[in-house]
RNA sequence: UGGGGUAUGGCCAAGCGGUAAGGCAUCAGUUUUUGGUACUGACAUUCGGGGGUUCGAAUCCCUCUACCCCAUCCA
């Protein structure tokens, strides 16, 4: 964890911890129990529980059960299950927002008493109209003028179930013209005469997400409330509720990250539900589903999913992760864990005409590069099965396996050569007559025959028949919309695959690698000794030479897209006059003049500074860059420095007392402490060093320390000049005159 | 359209004014009784476009563009 760069959430947590904002990190995973958790939830679980673990805090599991009509206890179980299966422990008992209903109700009454909430009795349509649009302000309902007493009385009656659904709601009194739509007097409570799976029929009113969530976080002592991007607009209400209620610190703050998207699948509850209800899949735990239950039944390990979540990172950019990344995670995990066994999917009989009797061959469960122990016995006789795809009568170039003229090794056993191909009436190959090479037995092969491949096989009389379910991606398109994009071949069932007996008799594991096929998992539901069933978790990686059939979808060299510049808002006449003055009289370049002229605050600041020191270009630059940056965050009167001080700073640059690099540093300091620039330069000894006699030895030292980079530079990697300049500047603690250093470095290296 | 976000290779993603990390994918090669694994190497003269500031910009400023979220009595 030390060297790895941290994601932005962890960085926030660390900053807060360092600032002493919280004593302990408390996070929470707060799903609504209205559906089965999917791999997107796994990401959220990994983040919330992972952060708590990393910083010795704790994480709560909370069911956000504020909507009685959609939620159910079966989902609660699925959620608990998912968290546990992924290996996390929640702090204490599972929490439920419904447990906080009384407290929430009390907070609502407080808001009413403060005049910050009111009972609104407008109907739904009218309310929508009054809310306005994104460009038009809304209008407040006439009911907002009700007295506190009336509100209190009405709200209590709402709670007591004296009104019908939809007759009244409780709203926060915020701002009907807020540019953030969510802040236009958001609903706090609605009436719902419905049975709640936990609270029963006790409540006739239920809190809305925006009211319940922040307060639940607060009640639980959550420090970092982490959610997905679509709640960014809700953050304002989150803060409003907690601030307005004047809750004593420390209170939680909300932070948002991008939800997980994976190609060739869907992730929304709605679409997942459609698949289940439409019968396109066999339930929530269908192995093709991206649900935790589905992944689990498919055979994914918790470790692989956690590794996957770790590998994709946490950021704020909406993204679509390639399934290949998920597939890598499970292959990578299983590779070092599971036994290898032989299974023939599409059996082709091979009779070894020159072999008599039978034997047992000892074979390791693990390849040479997996440091695990374990062997089993493989029966062998003259009748075996190999996979149909491992024989080709008319092989393409580059085919490594058995052909009429190419011998192949039966893995762990002998090399065989094809002698005769037997076909049925339709010309299909139904059997191979082959001969084995007695001196080619695995381990003491003295035959000298070179083969290109070793293939899997099973002995005919001892092999067990199994059912194999071959899963492929559920959708055929990268960003599927609905059922029309379903992959018709997402499930193929092979009823009569043949597997070596040890798998069934010894049961060395539940997950296997079927050699040269992929990773498989004994289906936890349908498997029985009489009828073994295996799910394909994922195939082995195939190098391009084997999957020659696949048309190479090589880079479509898209032309660099031409961007059309939009129209720029024209300047007002005053701005235009200012612009002309700046460019003509003060000789500012048009870009700088443009920035200045269009911003009244900036131009005022600039002109005031100009009165103190007559350095039009220099001051313009620092004002349009550094001052402008500050002004994005702060108001003019919040600035810690005056225009005059900026002018003085510029004067030092003009006088070559300090470099522009140091000027930036001094600027930072001014903006922090408000100190005079000259004082800062003086007290910190920031006067720049231009004396080659001082700089040269430093350059020599840097050059001596970086022989490889010197070589690279001399070989033509000229961008390394910046590296050397940087190093030397660092040695001078930033005080070196960059122009001088640049020249000297170039000379010394050249 | 007002507001809030986001843009770094095919896909994720570090980077916070001084040599464009890393993973997946892809392509070569070596090892291999899995066309697997492991190992080695290749893969962004450039960070959405255009300007500006700077000795030096993915990073600071201006501007344009594209995409996502918000007008549920869902969460």
Cα distances (angstroms) measured from residue A363 to each of A339, A376, A523: 11, 6, 25
Which residues have CB under 8 Å from A581's CB, separation 6+?
A: none
The per-residue DSSP string of A565-606 comes to: P-PPPPPPHHHHHHHHHHHHTS---HHHHHHHHT-HHHHHHH
Per-residue pLDDT band for A561 (boundaries 50, 70, 90) equals low
Is residue A606 over pLDDT 60?
yes
The interaxial angle of helices A692-705 and A720-731, nearest 10 deg, is: 120
In the prediction, which pLDDT does A669 show? Answer: 93
In angstroms, the CA of A259 and the C1' of B57 are apart by 31
Instruction: Tell me which residues from 91 to 120 on chain A have a beta carbon below 7 angstroms from nucleic acid strand B.
Output: none
Q: Which two tokens stand for residue A281?
A: 């899949």
Q: What is the per-residue pLDDT for A682?
A: 92
Nucleotide with C1' nearest the A229 CA: B69
Q: Which of residues 470-529 of A touch strand B (CB under 7 A)?
A: 513, 515-516
Nucleotide nearest the Cα atom of A34 (by C1'): B75
User: Nearest residue (Cα to C1') for B11?
Assistant: A322
Catalytic residue among A32, A167, A478, A743: A32
Q: A131, A259, A377, A464: which is the annotated catalytic residue?
A: A259
CA A273 to chain centre: 23
A275 touches strand B (CB under 7 A): no
Task: Examine the residue annotation and report whether A701 is marked as an active-site residue of this protein.
Answer: no
Which pLDDT belongs to residue A1? 37
Q: Does residue A725 approach strand B to less than 7 Å at its CB? A: yes
Strands A169-172, A117-120: pairing kind: antiparallel
Residue written as tokens 């001596």?
A704
pLDDT of the residue at A676: 94
User: Is there a catalytic annotation at residue A269?
Assistant: yes
Pair of tokens at residue A157: 């009656």
| Whether the predicted pLDDT of A636 surpasses 90 | no
Given this model, what pLDDT does residue A416 score?
Answer: 98
Tokens of A291: 């649900």
Nucleotide nearest to A182 (CA to C1'): B70
Stretch (H or E) spanning A408: strand A408-410
- A523 pLDDT above the threshold of 70: yes
ipTM, two decimals, is: 0.97
Residue A321 contacts strand B, CB under 7 A: yes
Alpha-carbon span A242 to A251, nearest angstrom:
8
Could you report the per-residue pLDDT of A387-435, keeping only the tens digit for each?
Answer: 999 999 999 999 999 999 999 999 999 999 999 999 999 999 999 999 9
Quickly give A28 CA vs B6 C1' distance in Å.
25
User: What nucleotide is nearest A546 when CA is compared to C1'?
Assistant: B35
Residue A4 above 80 pLDDT? no
Q: How confident is the model at residue A268 (pLDDT cuts 50, 70, 90)?
A: very high
pLDDT of residue A543: 79
Residues 376-435 of chain A with CB under 7 A from strand B are: 398-401, 409, 411-412
Q: Residue A423 catalytic? A: no
Specify the pLDDT at position A653: 94
Instruction: Provide the CA A481 to C1' B2 distance, Å, integer.
Output: 30
Residue A620 scores a pLDDT above 70: yes
- The band of A545, judged by pLDDT with boundaries at 50, 70 and 90, is low
Beta carbons within 8 Å of A79's beta carbon, 6+ residues apart: A31, A33, A37, A41, A61, A63
- Look at residues A163, A75, A73, A181 and name the one whose alpha carbon lies nearest to residue A120: A163
| pLDDT tens sequence across A73-119 | 999 999 999 999 999 999 999 999 999 999 999 999 999 999 999 99
CA to C1' distance (Å), from A389 to B31: 26
pLDDT category at A562 given cuts 50, 70, 90 is low
Average pLDDT, chain A: 94
> Which one, of A78, A41, A70, lies nearest residue A283 by Cα?
A78
A322 nearest nt, CA–C1': B11
């Amino acid at each position: 964890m030390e060297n790895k760069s941290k994601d932005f959430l962890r960085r926030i947590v660390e900053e807060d911890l360092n600032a002493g904002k919280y004593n302990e990190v408390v996070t929470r995973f707060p799903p609504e129990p209205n559906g089965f958790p999917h791999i997107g939830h796994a990401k959220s679980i990994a983040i919330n529980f992972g952060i708590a673990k990393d910083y010795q805090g704790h994480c709560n599991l909370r069911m956000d059960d504020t909507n009685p009509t959609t939620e159910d206890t079966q989902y609660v179980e699925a959620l608990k299950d998912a968290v546990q299966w992924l290996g996390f422990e929640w702090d204490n008992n599972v929490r439920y927002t419904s447990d906080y209903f009384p407290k929430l109700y009390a907070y609502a009454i407080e808001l009413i008493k403060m005049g910050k909430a009111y009972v609104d009795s407008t109907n739904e349509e009218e309310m929508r109209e009054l809310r306005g649009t994104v460009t038009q302000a809304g209008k407040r309902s006439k009911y907002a003028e009700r007295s506190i007493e009336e509100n209190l009385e009405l709200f209590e009656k709402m709670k007591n179930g004296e009104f019908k659904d939809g007759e009244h709601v409780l709203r926060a009194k915020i701002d009907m013209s807020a540019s953030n739509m969510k802040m236009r007097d958001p609903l706090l409570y609605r009436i719902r005469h419905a049975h709640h799976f936990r609270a029963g029929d006790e409540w006739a009113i239920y809190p809305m997400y925006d009211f319940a969530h922040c307060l639940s976080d607060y009640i639980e002592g959550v420090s970092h409330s982490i959610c997905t991007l679509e709640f960014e607009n809700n953050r304002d209400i989150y803060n409003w509720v907690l601030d307005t209620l004047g809750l004593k610190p420390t209170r939680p703050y909300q932070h948002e990250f991008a939800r997980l998207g994976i190609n060739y699948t869907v992730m929304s509850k709605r679409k997942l539900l459609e698949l289940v209800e439409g019968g396109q899949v066999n339930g929530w735990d269908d192995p093709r589903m991206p649900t935790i239950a589905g992944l689990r039944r498919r055979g994914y390990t918790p470790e692989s999913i956690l590794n996957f979540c770790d590998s994709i990172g946490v950021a704020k950019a909406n993204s679509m992760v390639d399934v290949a990344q998920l597939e890598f995670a499970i292959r990578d995990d299983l590779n070092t864990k599971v036994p290898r066994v032989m299974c023939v999917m599409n059996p082709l009989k091979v009779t070894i005409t020159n072999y008599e009797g039978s034997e047992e061959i000892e074979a390791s469960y693990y390849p040479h590069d997996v440091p695990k122990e374990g062997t089993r016995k493989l029966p062998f006789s003259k009748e075996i099965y190999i996979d149909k795809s491992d024989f080709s009568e008319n092989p393409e170039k580059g085919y490594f396996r058995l052909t009429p003229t190419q011998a192949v090794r039966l893995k762990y056993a002998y090399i065989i050569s094809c002698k005769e191909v037997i076909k049925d009436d339709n010309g299909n190959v139904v059997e191979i007559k082959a001969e084995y090479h007695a001196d080619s037995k695995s381990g003491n092969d003295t035959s000298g025959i070179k083969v290109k491949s070793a293939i899997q096989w099973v002995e005919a009389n001892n092999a067990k028949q199994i059912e194999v379910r071959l899963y492929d991606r559920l959708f055929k398109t990268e960003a599927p919309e609905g059922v029309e994009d379903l992959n018709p071949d997402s499930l193929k069932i092979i009823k009569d695959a043949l597997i070596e007996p040890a798998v069934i008799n010894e049961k060395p594991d539940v997950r296997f690698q079927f050699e040269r096929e992929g990773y498989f998992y004994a289906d936890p539901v349908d498997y029985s000794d009489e009828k073994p069933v295996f799910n394909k978790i994922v195939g082995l990686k195939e190098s391009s030479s084997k999957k020659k059939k696949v048309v190479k979808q090589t880079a479509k060299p898209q032309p660099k897209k031409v961007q059309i510049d939009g129209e720029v808002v024209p300047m007002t006449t005053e701005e235009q006059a200012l612009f002309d003055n700046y460019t003509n009289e003060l000789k500012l370049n048009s870009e700088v003049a443009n920035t200045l002229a269009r911003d009244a605050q900036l131009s005022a600041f600039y002109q005031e500074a100009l009165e103190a020191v007559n350095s039009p270009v220099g001051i313009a630059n620092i004002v349009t860059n550094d001052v402008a940056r500050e002004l994005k965050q702060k108001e003019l009167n919040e600035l810690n420095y005056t225009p005059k001080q900026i002018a003085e700073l510029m004067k030092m640059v003009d006088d070559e007392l300090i470099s522009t690099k140091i000027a930036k540093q001094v600027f930072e300091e001014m903006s922090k402490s408000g100190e005079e620039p000259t004082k800062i330069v003086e007290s910190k000894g920031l006067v720049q060093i231009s004396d080659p006699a001082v700089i040269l030895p430093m350059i020599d030292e840097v050059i001596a320390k970086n022989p490889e980079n010197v070589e690279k530079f001399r070989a033509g990697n000229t961008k390394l000049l910046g590296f050397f300049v940087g190093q030397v500047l660092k040695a001078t603690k930033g005080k070196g005159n960059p122009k001088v250093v640049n020249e000297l470095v170039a000379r010394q290296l050249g």
